[in-house]
Amino acid sequence: MTAAKRIDGKAKAAQLTESITRETATLLAEHGIKPGLAVVIIGKDPASQVYVRNKRRTAESCGFHSVQHSLDADALQPDVLALIHQLNSDDAIHGILVQLPLPEHLDEQLITQAISPSKDVDGFHFINIGKLTAGLTADAFVPCTPAGCMLMIQDEIGNDLSGKNAVVIGRSNIVGKPMASLLLQANATVTVAHSRTKNLPGVVAAADIVVAAVGRPDMVKADWVKPGAVVIDVGINRVEKMIDGEKKMGLTGDVDFDDVGTVAGAVTPVPGGVGPMTISMLMANTLRSARLAAGLEA
């Protein structure tokens, strides 16, 4: 039986989406602007298809102008770049998202960097990364998963994390590094741990805030966690589990939820934690882009 508070990312995301929907209606009524989100998907990867479908459904429910460009798995790089350049110059589009991973013959860095920084609602462009690292986020886009994690942490602890120790497990450009930048900006003392960190359980045990983003099922255990810590599980791992007495494929995080729940103060589940927040933050970034493009406050 878990003693920790279960952080309900699904409920938080629904609340955020409702707010975005209201603000979108106001933007259209007062300024005649409808936020536009274009998603580019290349190939038939099943997980990517699900993610894109969820993003499109949420965008439409928010009242956005939603466009999807589906390209064959053998699409040529010049054709992908030409599509991105076309979307960059389309005033009806405020956010451009290229669904990752890409087929191996395509250069991911070249393609993500071709998106205009002002429409880079994933926050992957080097200009947006640089602004985040420098703490200059007024007109920058923060990657959606760390942004969603930060909102959940602030719900539990508050906006000022002065005096709090935070450990981010994982150093990816998509989650680990931007997460560390956001925590620093909120005055936390931050350690970025990874596969080569010595005595990883000991490092994590000193943290008031733990963000796990490594992709190893159930890696973080109760004896790694400081009593009362806030634990955010970014991991999504497909594993064989017992579901209703049968062995089935299911999702689990990087944190052993039941075990860690006996000591943590609050912990996110998988599924139903960080995932829904990521999509809501994508919508928030797109709305923000539409406002900035119109010269309005973000």
Query: Do the beta carbons of residue 54 and residue 279 sit within 8 Å?
Result: yes
Mean pLDDT value of segment 157-166: 97
Residues in a beta bridge with 255: 220
Task: Indicate whether 298 pLDDT > 80.
Answer: no
What mean pLDDT is reported for the chain?
Answer: 95
Per-domain residue ranges for the chain? 30-115, 144-275
pLDDT for 76 equals 97
Rounded to two decimals, what is the model's pTM? Answer: 0.93
pLDDT for 288 equals 97
Q: Which fold has domain 30-115?
A: Rossmann fold (3.40.50)
Task: Indicate whether 244 pLDDT > 80.
Answer: no
Query: Do the beta carbons of residue 277 and residue 149 sit within 8 Å?
Result: yes
Burial degree of 30 (CB within 10 A; 0-12, 13-18, 19+): exposed
pLDDT for 180 equals 98
Task: Indicate whether 260 pLDDT > 60.
Answer: yes
pLDDT for 2 equals 53
Mean pLDDT value of segment 253-281: 96
Sorting pLDDT into bands at 50, 70 and 90, what band is 245? Answer: confident
Percent of the chain at pLDDT exceeding 70: 99
pLDDT for 247 equals 81
φ, ψ of residue 48 in degrees (nearest 5):
-65, -40
Is 72 an annotated catalytic residue?
no
Task: Indicate whether 111 pLDDT > 90.
Answer: yes
Instruction: Specify the length of the chain in residues.
Output: 298
Mean pLDDT value of segment 162-166: 97
Is 55 an annotated catalytic residue?
yes
Task: Indicate whether 231 pLDDT > 80.
Answer: yes
Set 55, 164, 177, 226: catalytic member:
55
Between the CA of residue 134 and those of 116, 248, 269, what are the distances in Å?
A: 20, 45, 32
Is 15 an annotated catalytic residue?
no
Set 12, 99, 177, 226: catalytic member:
99
* One fold for 30-115 and 144-275: yes
Q: Cα–Cα distance between 240 and 263 in angstroms, integer?
A: 26
Set 12, 119, 120, 122: catalytic member:
122
> CA torsion, points 50, 53, 58, 64, in degrees to nearest 10?
150
pLDDT for 172 equals 94
Mean pLDDT value of segment 187-206: 96
**CATH architecture of the region 144-275:** 3-Layer(aba) Sandwich (3.40)
